Structure 1
Amino acid sequence: MKMNETLVTSSEPPPSDGDPMDVVTEAHNPNENQSASSSDSDSESDDEAQVALELQNLETELATNPANYDAHVQYITALRKQGDLDKLRLAREVMSELFPLTPAMWQQWGNDEISLISSSAHEGAIPAIEKLYERGVSDYTSVPLWLDYLNFLQKYDSSVSECSPSGISKARDLFERALTACGLHIAEGSKLWESYRSYEERILNTMDKTDSELREKQTQKIRSIFHRQLSIPHLDLKSTLLTYKAWESHHGNNLDVSPQVASSHQKALEMLNIRADFEKKIAKNDVPDTERLQSYMAYLKFEQSSGDPARVKSLYERAITEFPISSDLWIDYTSYLNKTLKADKTLRDIYNRATRNCPWVGELWVRFMLYLERCHGSEKELSDVFERSLLCTFSTIDEYVDIFLTRVDGLRRRKQVDNGLDFALIRDTFKRASDYLSQQLKNTYSLLQIHSYWARLEYNIAKDITAVREVWKSLLKTSGSMLEAWQGYISMETELGHIHEARSLYKQCYTKRFSGTGSEDICNSWIRFEREFGSLEDFDHASQKVTPRLQELQFYKIQQESKVMASSIEEKEDKKITREKRKSGSDNPPNEQPPAKRHKDKSNKTEKSVVTQKDIPHGQSQSQSQSDTKMNEKSKQYNDKCTAFVSNLNLKAKGNYDILQASKDDLSGFFSDIGGVGEIRILLDKFTKKSRGLAYVDFCDDAHLESAIAKNKQMFLGKKLSIARSDPKGKRKSDNSNSNTNSSIKQGKVELKGRNTFAVPRTVRALGWTGGTKPPPAATTEGGDEKPKSNEELRNLLLNKT
């Protein structure tokens, strides 16, 4: 169907009876008109072709990307130009299913449908257009749209226009709804009041003039509308009072306004004066939208302080109409409603509008589901909202997690009240969450939270221990390198009294590589577990498994420390060279080679140094020699004569102040019972400048140092500290002259057991062996005649070997 179609008729030109010249002239003029008409026709044809091409492109775009809001708007505009009402109506329906239409778009739609009403068939079209307006006023609060709706009924609904009893009732109900929605609108609300009074005046004029009682009753109805309007702050409140006085005078009442009306009018004026500045700010169109939105928020804060929920709700609706996709505004709006109205059934439409305007905000969907549960919504309603939410795209993965957990929470609560609810629905929701989120949440607390919650419900509600274990196993398949996943599984088995199963899990995971100190933690946890639940044989078996593993981890920690220290020394040396070059004022001094050649020569020297290692003094490695040379070039601030090396510090310091200072203060307090604490040095990451969990603590003498070392393995800020004597210079080699190396380390080759092993230096004291004591059997060599190397020798050896 085409809109505004016109019938075009053509007729032959009448014959001419005049001069032949006139005939020629008459014959020529139609040709000119025909040429002009042809030109116009070609122009119209080009326009139609351009519109058709635009429509084709827009249809292709919407087929591939139906969520493109702007493409929908452009498509509807192009269809209006073409005049194809059937396609236009379908396009509007499709867009309204996905997005709320603006009040202007609803007005345009209504006007297009009204223009097609013929005088003979308009009665049948009225209900369809009424439904159209009902949909429009439910999307946004708009005074112009309500006025269009009311005017349409007064013009095309015969019962309303003829003021029949049924028509009057229908019109009054609609006017009261409009006033409830927009009657408090300070800027435009008075238009609705005026329209209402105008219709009531129309009713009065149709009444029999001889029926004074009925006319007086109608007059009182109009007077009541005036009184209501005068008690509400509107921008034209003063002119409304003058109109009221003139109306009373016209109806023979020349008395002054009643004291009650005057008092309510004065209060309304005072309210208007207080809000006048807010109204001016939100009415400015020459300022950025962010500024106008902030003006609305300030206005809303003021209205909330006044304590009138109706006025607050009206102002929120005005703000939403102008800023429909402001998620912060919708969140603020729904928060206010939760506090004031809570389970009010009228909030269902508001939550529905919020999620349609901002479908990408997970918090709005969560609040919608909680509201439906609070007002005892049906399972179908809750399921529909949940399924709609999963079709949206959220900015963070945590929003998806929150939606799934909210759905499960509701099902769990309903299951506890209604035993008829099938647990399979809860299980299916968890399974969907796992399938949907596992890859994105791999090794995260959120995935652990979902599975631990799932496992608890499987045991507490379904009473299915097999299903419980399957849940944990599915988590470990995805997040097996996450310590907390194993701890959660073990903890649940322990709580349920399944000691054998918990022990089996320890055996599976104690050799795994976990982040941070997780590997040490799981080993120590197994030992504690056997102390509390195991037999002596179980405890001995766990100790035999755990002890070598802890040695491996300790060796690896020393290796990593050595690498970091070597890297730090090189970095400082490079900075020193750079500063010296800058001071010299030249990038390449006369006696210095270019950087490229220096690099090449440095490589050659490195190769040469390997060949001529015999020139290095006996007992000193090449890396030691290089490191000592670098250290000698730089002044030494600390000599570590009486220093403890502390590791496994808690990286999360207490308080909100600087991390470095907080760690120093905490360490100082930890050693306060010993005394003699000097300088405390926290090792920081060179990039993040945050604590690496390592520190050097200087003491005034050996007695205090030995007391500090005696505190090894004590708990500090939730973690077990490792404290050992720092010996970077190897000056205490004589204390360890009779040491032996681990029997598993032979001829410079490392032989370690376990799923994850690390490179270990040749001569390192066994774990727990201090100077002056006999090394444990597992730490002796076959010959027993090799001297242990100092920490500094070890670091340099590792730097050279690795």
Structure 2
Amino acid sequence: MAASSNAEQTQLQDMEEEDAGMEERDMESGDEPEEGMREDNSDEEEDDSSEDEKENEAEIQRLEEQLSINAFDYNCHVDLIKLLKQEGELSRLRKARQKMSELFPLTEEIWLDWLKDEIRLTEEEPNREKVYELFEKATKDYICPDIWLEYAQYSIGGMGSPGGMDKVRSIFERAVTAVGLHMTKGQMVWEAYREFENVILSTVQPPPGRIPSREEQDLLKTQLDRIHTLFRRQLAIPLMDMEATYAEYEEWSEHGVAETVVHQYKKALQQLAKCKSLEESLIVAEPPKLAEYQSYIDFELKEGDPARVQIIFERTLAENCLVPDMWAKYTTYLDRQLKIKDLVLSSHERAVRNCPWTMGLWKSYLLALERHGADHHTVSDVFEKALNAGFIQATDYVEIWQAHLDYLRRRVDFSKESSKELEELRGAFSRSLDYMKQDVEERFGESGDPSCIIMQIWARIEALHCKNIQKARELWDSIMTKGNAKYANMWLEYYNLERSYGDPVHCRKALHRAVQCTTDYPEHVSEVLLTFERVEGSLEDWDVAVQKTETRLNRINEQRAKVAEKEANLARQEEEKADQRRKTKVDKKAQRKVQKGSRVGEKRKAEQDDYQDEWNDNSEQEQQPKKHRGNGDQTTEEYMETETGLFGRNARPGYKPPPPGNKRAQQGAAAGEQQSDDKQELRNDNSSVFISNLAYTLKEPEAKLRTQFETCGPIKQVRPVFGNKGTFKGYGYVQFESPVSVPEALKLDRREVEGRPMFVSPCVDKNKNPDFKVFKYNTSIEKQKIFISGLPFTCTKEQLEEICKSHGIIKDIRLVTYRSGKPKGLAYVEFADEAQASQAVLKMDGMTIEDNKICVAISNPPRRNMMDKPGSNRPTDMMPRQVFGSRGRGRTQLSLLPRSLHRQSGPGSKVENGTAAEQVPETASTVVNAVGETKPLSNSDFARMLLSK
């Protein structure tokens, strides 16, 4: 077989000769341009080429500068390599590729381009070893049949060197071992191997008519046996189009096919029949084909052939290299089933190179290194790389530190009082605490280890293994000073440590402090203290414990009673205020009616005339008085308002009452009002939904709403709400015949109706359920969802889906809009899992869309702003998401309060365990009284404070 490099040279020469011939024919067929014109054209071409070169060089420098700032920008690496190849900068191109390969595994296309370029550059024999090294590196990133085939074909060109033939066979053997089981592409590697051996066979066969020597016969027999063996090995593996291979073997073999080969071939055909449907589903599926590959993996795991399980995992990861869950499944399988050191460790390394942001993969890698006896330096290097990988949560750093500390603890021989490993363990514990405080808290704004798990483990190791209870107590003192003194479970953990490794004196002291400091479950720690004194203490100790627990519990109960009374008072005040507002509203309404009845003027007369004219038209009466009074002194307008409800909530659109004096019409109006009351009585909240945010100009809202919701189920009635003048108010109710239709109707929330998003929510009587709140979207961190800001207002849902779908499977996209339907430039995109969302954040953050640079982050919506109401569980010590921007306090965030109204908060008092009590800031609008309650300042208080300065 000819080497690929020779074939490429021949092809390039043919192309050059063809181009030269075409140029010559063009010159012969056309008129030769004048010399001046040729010079002008060449000058213009040189100017254009020089400008393009300058632009490309500027772009190259920009990309290199960007990579110096952020070396992990994958797309920037790819763009730089393309430009350098276009410009022919071979040395810079080689360095760019090497730098990228150090940070990321390269795809099959990038590797093949690189290898072909290096093959062209290293035609001479001494440089072949460099290409071999590059091939070895390429085969470790992914299992790619095309790369292995290129490797084997390139090695054929070096057959003339010493040991060249053995090297070719060695590479082919490694290739069929690595990718020979690939059901769709493995066949081409087997055929290339057999073709090579057939070429060797033709060189050892004697010329016709000459009797070969004994040595030549042995050489010929050996070569024939090689080819027979290759056929038998290939036919024992289920591969696509293996029937053609069997027919070729029958034709090639002089003595037919052996029975054992036929048996293995039929068995492979049966296996192929089982897998064929899975292979066909992969062929027709759209990338990334994750579901189809998962089904294939499950099938192979049930079959139980480790080699076939490995190859299907490798095929899956070649197309889904950024899916951490798939890497985790593969490495777990290797750890538990194959347990081959080189294979296991190389797979773990590839996993963390592909998904460096996934803490679980680093943790598994560290455990695998320890499990297979890697040296301490290697394990430490991998851990340091993990710290710089850029995890997305503060808790990830706690877990990776715990894994490393566990490894260091297992290296220590605690039978010795001191050792190098023990000092290293203590140094690592100390460093981990500094790292959490300096790096993690600064980056995430939170500790990541609020319960101080690392310090607890350190304290237990010191007490259990090192017999250093004093160090353990110091660590627990530090734990309690970090805000954990108010939790009963923390004190009980400390008490158990003292109980196991300390003495009764310190146990008693710990429980006494617990009784004084615990705020969540003081009864529980009091009970533990009394139980301890029953077992360990004297009568004096018992009396002291009883006195302390009773005093503490009495104080706690008093505080609880005060809080309950305060909440009850607030609730009562709120109820009184609501009653007062309702009473004031009724009085104002009655006053307006009196004022309206006393007003007599031209305006009233004109309104009555208009009304009578309209009534005359609608009722087709010939004559009606312009002004009519009925029911005593009641005017027509008063009658309209009080009797018919035309301008009230119950009037149906287009309904006009009869004038007073017409008894039959009055009876009809009363019947209409009774019918409206019947509708109200038929209302059922369980089978109804509330519709809002509709346009006021919506024509025929009842018909429009019925059309929107008729697909959800049978509709009993639609009740749009109208204003005083019969205009639609933009909201209403839809009642179904069955509550089963309500969930389907709620799915139509945010559907666009005439340019506005329609809000659909459950129908709940707020008078009966005052605490009912409807908020559809989550307010906690959603790891599988990303938040995008800075989008252009013209960006549609389809365009955003096209941008995001390359990073994973999209479950939902929501564009945030104003109530009017206008976009805000914000969006939420939900992926199938958190790994895909994390990858989307890494790849999309900073991306430019229509000249807009977008910001992408994991979705962590802020909590809703809720008023402080009695009984609300609003947290008071919750940390704000971000008070100021990256450039500090903005102008609009400056305090506009006069300096004379600012007060300094007093210093916090110390509690028994050494922690500072929480300082309550005293603002200008509140004042703290003797019992600790806050009272709002009145206007006179503000004036007195201002005038006192």
2:386 partner amino acid: S
- Alignment of 1:476 onto 2:470: no
Contact 1:443 1:479 in 2 (8 A): no
Deviation at 1:507, TM superposition (A): 4.8
Deviation at 1:109, TM superposition (A): 0.9
2:542 paired residue number:
539
Cα distance, 1:482–1:299 mapped onto 2, change above 3 Å: farther
| Counterpart Cα distance in 2 of 1:216 and 1:39 | 68
- Alignment of 1:385 onto 2:382: yes
Contact 1:442 1:478 in 2 (8 A): no
Contact 1:343 1:371 in 2 (8 A): no
| Counterpart Cα distance in 1 of 2:228 and 2:300 | 29
| Counterpart Cα distance in 2 of 1:799 and 1:482 | 23
Contact 2:366 2:383 in 1 (8 A): yes
In structure 1, the gaps of 5 or more residues are 7-24, 595-682, 690-751, 759-797
Q: Could you report, residue by residue, the CA deviation over 1:442-477 in whole angstroms, capped at 9, with x for unpaired residues?
A: 788774332221112112333323322222223223
2:277 paired residue number:
277
1:41-120 equivalences in 2 (<5 Å): 41-118=46-123
Q: Could you report, residue by residue, the CA deviation over 1:383-407 in whole angstroms, capped at 9, with x for unpaired residues?
A: 1221211111223333322222222
1:458-497 equivalences in 2 (<5 Å): 458-483=462-487, 484-497=489-502
Cα distance, 1:757–1:238 mapped onto 2, change above 3 Å: closer
- Alignment of 1:557 onto 2:563: no
2:141 paired residue number:
139
2:227 partner amino acid: I
Cα distance, 1:526–1:76 mapped onto 2, change above 3 Å: same
1:265 partner amino acid: Y
Tell me the SS of whatever aligns to 1:67: coil
| Counterpart Cα distance in 1 of 2:262 and 2:577 | 87
Cα distance, 1:461–1:32 mapped onto 2, change above 3 Å: same
What's the TM-score once normalised by structure 2's chain length? 0.55
1:591 paired residue number:
590
1:110 partner amino acid: L
2:435 paired residue number:
436
Q: Could you report, residue by residue, the CA deviation over 1:134-167 in whole angstroms, capped at 9, with x for unpaired residues?
A: 00000000011111111111124533xxxx6x22
- Alignment of 1:235 onto 2:240: yes
Cα distance, 1:421–1:180 mapped onto 2, change above 3 Å: farther
Cα distance, 1:417–1:296 mapped onto 2, change above 3 Å: farther
2:132 paired residue number:
130
| Counterpart Cα distance in 1 of 2:61 and 2:572 | 68
1:565-604 equivalences in 2 (<5 Å): 565-566=568-569, 590-591=589-590
| Counterpart Cα distance in 1 of 2:310 and 2:73 | 30
Cα distance, 1:562–1:257 mapped onto 2, change above 3 Å: same
Cα distance, 1:527–1:448 mapped onto 2, change above 3 Å: farther
| Counterpart Cα distance in 2 of 1:334 and 1:218 | 40
| Counterpart Cα distance in 1 of 2:306 and 2:554 | 68
Q: Could you report, residue by residue, the CA deviation over 1:636-695 in whole angstroms, capped at 9, with x for unpaired residues?
A: xxxxxxxxxxxxxxxxxxxxxxxxxxxxxxxxxxxxxxxxxxxxxxx9997799xxxxxx
Contact 2:394 2:447 in 1 (8 A): no
Single out whichever of 403-412 and 98-107 deviates more from structure 2. Answer: 403-412
| Counterpart Cα distance in 2 of 1:403 and 1:307 | 33
1:467 partner amino acid: K
| Counterpart Cα distance in 2 of 1:470 and 1:182 | 59
| Counterpart Cα distance in 2 of 1:426 and 1:80 | 50
Cα distance, 1:445–1:562 mapped onto 2, change above 3 Å: farther
Q: Could you report, residue by residue, the CA deviation over 1:497-532 in whole angstroms, capped at 9, with x for unpaired residues?
A: 433333444454543363xx3344444444444443
Deviation at 1:538, TM superposition (A): 3.0
Q: Could you report, residue by residue, the CA deviation over 1:725-768 in whole angstroms, capped at 9, with x for unpaired residues?
A: xxxxxxxxxxxxxxxxxxxxxxxxxxx9988999xxxxxxxxxx
Deviation at 1:358, TM superposition (A): 1.0
Q: Taking every aligned residue pair, what percent have the same amino acid on both sides?
A: 32
1:36 paired residue number:
41
| Counterpart Cα distance in 1 of 2:300 and 2:579 | 65
1:417-428 equivalences in 2 (<5 Å): 422-428=421-427
- Alignment of 1:398 onto 2:400: no
| Counterpart Cα distance in 2 of 1:195 and 1:117 | 24
2:598 paired residue number:
none
Deviation at 1:67, TM superposition (A): 1.2
2:175 paired residue number:
178
1:565-714 equivalences in 2 (<5 Å): 565-566=568-569, 590-591=589-590
2:312 partner amino acid: L
1:321 partner amino acid: A
Cα distance, 1:504–1:85 mapped onto 2, change above 3 Å: same
Contact 2:363 2:403 in 1 (8 A): yes
1:178 partner amino acid: A
2:99 partner amino acid: V
1:518 partner amino acid: Y
Contact 1:552 1:757 in 2 (8 A): no
Deviation at 1:223, TM superposition (A): 1.2
Contact 1:566 1:799 in 2 (8 A): no
Tell me the SS of whatever aligns to 1:129: helix
Deviation at 1:574, TM superposition (A): 8.8
Cα distance, 1:444–1:296 mapped onto 2, change above 3 Å: closer
2:410 paired residue number:
413
1:373 paired residue number:
370
Contact 2:301 2:309 in 1 (8 A): yes
1:355 paired residue number:
352
1:76 partner amino acid: I
| Counterpart Cα distance in 2 of 1:136 and 1:799 | 70
1:520-531 equivalences in 2 (<5 Å): 520-531=523-534
1:366 partner amino acid: K
What's the TM-score once normalised by structure 1's chain length? 0.65
Cα distance, 1:757–1:301 mapped onto 2, change above 3 Å: closer
Cα distance, 1:71–1:757 mapped onto 2, change above 3 Å: closer
Contact 1:342 1:371 in 2 (8 A): no
Contact 1:443 1:482 in 2 (8 A): no
2:194 paired residue number:
197
2:624 paired residue number:
none
2:551 paired residue number:
548
Higher relative contact order (CA 8 A, sep 6+): 1
Cα distance, 1:196–1:288 mapped onto 2, change above 3 Å: closer
1:268 paired residue number:
268
Tell me the SS of whatever aligns to 1:115: helix
2:218 paired residue number:
213
Tell me the SS of whatever aligns to 1:591: helix
Contact 1:479 1:485 in 2 (8 A): no
| Counterpart Cα distance in 1 of 2:586 and 2:399 | 58
